[in-house]
Amino acid sequence: MNPLGENLKIGVDQTGLSPSLNPDSAVRESGGVPFKDVLKNLVDKVDSLQKDADVSIQGLVTGETTDIHNVAIKMEEAGVAFDLMMEIRNKLLEAYQEISKMQP
């Protein structure tokens, strides 16, 4: 699942938050966290949840743990976090496309 996360990280960077747009300077002046960083943080956290789930699956197959329910719950949590990230990404992409369709 991790390579997919990596791809998305690149995908998010390409969706309107490329350096050419550079919204950072304006945000930094107002003292806030750039939205790009917020998004990157989210992607990283979702990725770490996926990795957690992977580790617990490893634990189950290597016999370190016998708690099937904890593994299943970790996988489910990672899935929901991923869905949330996907929805945010879709919304962002949608907004970007709307803006790019605007013609003078």
Partner 1 sequence: MSEITLMPAIGISATGLDAESRRMDVIANNVANAQTTRGQDGKVFQRKEVIFAARLSNAIRAGGKENKLKGVELQKIVADERPPKLIYRPGHPDADENGYITMPNVNPLEEMVDMMSASRSYEANLAAVRMSKSMASQALDILK
Sheet strands (E) in the chain:
none
Give the one residue of 6, 37, 64, 87 binding partner 1; rule: CB under 8 A: 87
Q: Which residue has the tokens 């957690």?
A: 52
Give how many residues touch partner 1 by CB under 8 A.
Answer: 21
Please report whether residue 38 would count as binding partner 1 according to CB under 8 A: no
Q: Which of 96, 79, 77 is nearest to 12 (CA)?
A: 96
Please report whether residue 37 would count as binding partner 1 according to CB under 8 A: no
Please report whether residue 64 would count as binding partner 1 according to CB under 8 A: no
Q: Which two tokens stand for residue 68?
A: 């099937």
Give the one residue of 41, 58, 65, 97 binding partner 1; rule: CB under 8 A: 41
